[in-house]
């Protein structure tokens, strides 16, 4: 009897301990992928006149030819619940629209204003050297860690499923920091070490189970960053037109692969999952210049 009572009390104690060790509420948990960002660093040059909206939005900090540090932002939801944003507002003038939705009158579509912030810091993280500007325009499941899981969220019903990730690849407009004036900052050389900081959900619009992992740091030496060979700004704009092309080369050139259109991905020997990923990335690239209806 005493033995059974002791076992019962032990099982109760274990159950109580486990219940306190686990969060009482299911929540998403964003994790920016530093390794992916580091593998997608490129230097590009863009003429600001190609799209004046990019100055209005703060993506470019001046006129003329701008030098850009491009990179991809891949963000995993490693939590135990979906990060749900929902549909963009139907009425752009409704005063009751959530404050994190912002209507971009220049590109004529909605932005989710609190998605990500990009900064270039000194190598010891003590000083902010330059700041990027990122407004999310489509929070979606670009892929899932389990390839058998079908992505659920898209630009019409936005969010990131648990176990999946969103990605703004380096081909997208504004997916950069304008480093044109970096050479004017104290201590600059082509071999100076900087740190690219990618911070997700800084404003806390999404409740998360853990906010300690929302910032990624990537070391950058400008002189060592390779040149960008992906689609130009004009090509991305054409993709967003109603009759824009359905195909295209990957951001590293050479055509297709995981970064190109679905059919091209398969033609290059990519897996069917890779081809689907390529199609989703292309769709998101086209979405930037799509006007809301």
Residue 241 pLDDT grade (very low, low, confident, very high; cuts 50, 70, 90): low
Structural domain boundaries enclosing 154 = 31-85+112-236
Number of domains observed in the structure of the chain = 1
Give, in order, the Cα–Cα distances in Å from 134 to each of 54, 177, 225: 11, 9, 21
How confident is the model over 60-106, as pLDDT tens digits?
Answer: 999 999 999 999 999 999 999 999 999 988 888 888 888 888 887 78
- Would you say residue 162 lies in a domain? yes
What's the whole-model pTM score?
A: 0.79
In a domain, 244, yes or no: no
- Distances from the Cα of 99 to the Cα of 57, 87, 88, 95, 216, angstroms: 17, 14, 12, 9, 26
Per DSSP bridges, beta strands 109-112 and 42-47 are: unpaired
Q: Single out the residue of 169, 97, 173 nearest to residue 140, CA to CA.
A: 169
Averaged pLDDT of the chain:
79
Domain-embedded: residue 205: yes
94 occurs within a structural domain: no
Residue 59 pLDDT exceeds 70? yes
Instruction: Kindly state whether residue 213 falls inside one of the protein's structural domains.
Output: yes
pLDDT score recorded for residue 1: 43
Backbone dihedral region for residue 232 (phi beyond 0: left; psi -120 to 50: alpha; all else: beta): beta
pLDDT at 226 over 90: yes
The residue ranking higher by pLDDT, 125 or 89, is 125
């Amino acid at each position: 009897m005493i033995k059974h009572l002791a076992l019962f009390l032990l099982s109760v104690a274990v159950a109580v301990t486990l219940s306190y060790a686990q969060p009482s509420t299911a929540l998403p948990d964003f994790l920016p992928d530093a390794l992916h960002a580091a593998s997608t660093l490129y230097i590009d040059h863009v003429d600001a006149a190609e799209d004046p909206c990019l100055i209005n939005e703060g993506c470019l900090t001046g006129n003329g030819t701008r030098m850009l540090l491009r990179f991809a932002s891949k963000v995993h939801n490693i939590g135990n619940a979906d990060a749900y944003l929902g549909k963009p507002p139907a009425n752009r003038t409704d005063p009751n629209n959530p404050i994190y939705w912002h209507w971009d009158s220049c590109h004529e579509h909605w932005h989710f204003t609190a998605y990500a912030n990009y900064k270039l810091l000194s190598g010891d993280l003590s000083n902010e050297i330059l700041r990027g500007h990122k407004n999310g325009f489509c929070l979606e499941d670009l892929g899932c860690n389990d390839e058998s899981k079908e992505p659920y969220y898209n630009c019409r019903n936005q969010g990131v499923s648990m176990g999946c990730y969103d990605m703004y690849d380096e081909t997208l407009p504004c997916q950069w920091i304008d480093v044109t004036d970096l050479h004017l900052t104290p201590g600059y050389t082509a071999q100076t070490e900087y740190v690219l900081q990618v911070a997700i959900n800084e404003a806390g619009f999404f409740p998360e189970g853990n906010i300690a992992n929302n910032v990624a740091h990537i070391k950058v030496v400008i002189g060592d960053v390779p040149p960008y060979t992906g689609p130009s700004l004009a090509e991305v704009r054409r993709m967003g037109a109603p009759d824009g092309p359905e195909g295209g080369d990957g951001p590293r050139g050479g055509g297709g692969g995981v970064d190109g259109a679905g059919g091209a991905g398969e033609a290059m020997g990519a897996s069917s999952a890779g081809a689907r990923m390529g199609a989703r990335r292309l769709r998101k690239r086209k979405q930037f210049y799509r006007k809301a209806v």
